Amino acid sequence: MKIRVYYEDTDTGGVVYHSNYLNFCERARSEAFFAKGLNPVLEGGHFVARKVNADFFKSARLGDLLSIQTQLIEMKAASFTLKQSIFKDDEKIFELEILLVYLTFDGRVQRLSKEIKEMILSLFDE
């Protein structure tokens, strides 16, 4: 997914706020669903972040065109881990590893069904 850095993403010096890298990654995850005609909020529940590990290598700036790549690292009974990398041109500037857990709408952890696992594989295991 490509994302342009806009003024609202930056401080007065034109540098992207650190929290916006997380937003960019969230948009890329959601876009993976939307691109296949799906919604990230499923009929029986939704995914929430359980653990995040982020590395900042270099700053993005106002006007930059960024590319976000997402890769499935691991899938367990009720969760999966993704690695997301943000590139400016061919240089990696940010990397995120995120553990996402599947919850019912009343907040209980729910096992991933075979269908949901297959969907996740179709979205992120490329």
Known catalytic residues are: 11
Q: Which residues contact 119 (CB under 8 A, 6 or more apart)?
A: 38
The CB-side HSE value for 36 (13 A sphere, CA atoms) comes to 14
Residue carrying structure tokens 């990654």: 25
Tell me the C-alpha distance between 116 and 102, whole Å.
Answer: 10
Structure token pair of residue 15: 């540098």
Tell me the C-alpha distance between 17 and 47, whole Å.
Answer: 25
Using CB atoms within 10 Å of the CB of residue 28, give its burial: 0 to 12 exposed, 13 to 18 middle, 19+ buried.
buried
